[in-house]
Amino acid sequence: MQKALVRKVVDGAEADTLLVLQHPHTYTIGRRGRRDDVLLSDEKLARLDVSIYDVDRGGEATYHGPGQLVAYPIVNIRPFGGPVKFVRTLEQVMIGTLADYGIGASAKEGCTGVWAGEDKIGAIGLKVSRGVASHGLSLNVNPDLGYYRHVIPCGSPDITVTSMEKLLGQPIDMDAVAYTLQYHFGRLLKLKMVEVEPKVTLVGVPLG
Q: What is the pLDDT of residues 27-74, one digit of tens each?
A: 999 888 888 889 889 999 999 899 999 998 988 899 999 999 999 999
For residue 52, what are the contacts with CB-CB under 8 A and spacing of at least 6? 26, 27, 28, 29, 35, 38, 45
Q: Which of 5-9, 66-70, 117-121, 194-198 has the lowest mean pLDDT?
A: 194-198
Comparing C-alpha atoms, which of 64, 82, 93 is closest to residue 182?
Answer: 93
Could you give the residue numbers annotated as active site? 154
41 within 8 A of 47, measured Cβ to Cβ? no
- Model pTM score: 0.91
Domain locations in the chain as residue ranges: 2-189
- Separation between Cα atoms, residue 203 and residue 23, nearest integer Å: 8
Q: Which CA distances in Å does 146 have to 62, 66, 72, 114?
A: 13, 12, 24, 19
Please calculate the CA angle 60-126-156 and round it to the nearest 5 degrees. 25
57-66, 111-120, 153-162, range with the lowest pLDDT: 153-162
Mean pLDDT over each residue of the chain, to the nearest integer: 90
CATH of domain 2-189: 3.30.930.10
Question: What percentage of the chain carries pLDDT values higher than 90?
Answer: 71
